[in-house]
Structure 1
Amino acid sequence: MGAAMNPPNITEAQAPHNRRRGRWQLLLIVAMVIGPMILATGMYKLQFWVPESRSYHGELIGNGQSRADIGVQADETRWQILVTAPKGCSEDCQQLVYLARQIQISLGRDASRASHALAAAQPLDADYQAKLQREYPQLQRYPLDLATFTKGTSDQGAPLLWIVDPHGNLVLRYDARVNGKDLLNDLRHLLKLSNIG
């Protein structure tokens, strides 16, 4: 009788199938990790699938503009409540500066994560300057480059209040009619979501 035939080795037959299956699993894992990042970047850059409902009260700045794009050069690395005054700091501007300080104080234990600032295109009135030095010791002051501000915003003359993230990106914008409670809620929400600054 001839030699008995050996049955084919099952593990050798399954090896190519297992290798293919392993590759598909690896590709699936990579797609699950990288896919959401690509989708989120696309949604941000191309503004698609952005939900219509919103939980903030200011105007969302979703175009990647930075503080420098509106004519303010600063190296603040905390969240910032920034008031811009392209045409002097009149009553509306002064009210926003006061509000910015009050909002920062109202953050309580998170107050150290934020600062308040004024960027003015023109020299301040002497009385108001003295008041700021006396009553606003922590207010940061910057010059506002009017040409850059005019190019970077649609509101040419009105004072505005901005929330700026620790990287210098503009997040929300408010005009002089802003409700202080709404602004405080927006900033608290951003600080809660953020692990920077």
Structure 2
Amino acid sequence: MGKIVVSEQISLDGVVEDPSGVEGTGRGGWVNEMSQADRARWTEHEFAESVAAEALLLGRRSDAWFAARWRDRAGEWADRLNTMPKYVVSSTLDEPQWGNATVLSGDVVEQVAKLRTETDGDIVVYASALLVRLLLDHDLVDELRLTIHPFVVGAGPSLWGETASRKTFRLTDSRLLGSLPHLTFEVVAA
């Protein structure tokens, strides 16, 4: 059985919107302020995470965002991301933009639960905050991996939204990626 792993870059106040600044939200771009040493450690970590993963699970907008930035890149990390299996959750998309991808449509909860039982290993979710909230609400997330950037953005969509019930997590790992805290939480079953 697979494990749904949410891997996010997040501000101190939980904001996940526009970390790179390319969406032009006015408050974005906070990941660009990490030092070169932090970026090098974060890159090593993210590459290792992609190598260990069996697949990626993305929302429609995240599929388009990543496809536009990774499709034409070269190198070990780009090769891994571009060739690994991807699943894109969408009710409107027929053809995903990133290669080696399958659209999951219909009942998202049912489709992701099925994917989880049919996959061995980690199914990593990058970005896709709305999808993450839905998965959390339906107890489909097994692990959270959060790289915390030392900024209070002050506004913008957060990883956290209202949930149908209280959610409990257990810290299973903490480390520094350079000076950036990286926390891993296991979801505790209710």
TM range (shorter): under 0.3
Q: Tell which has more relative contact order, 1 or 2 (C-alpha 8 A, sep 6+).
A: 2
Between structure 1 and structure 2, the one with the greater Rg is 1
Q: TM-score, normalising length from structure 1?
A: 0.24
Q: TM-score, normalising length from structure 2?
A: 0.25
Higher normalized strand content (fraction of residues): 2
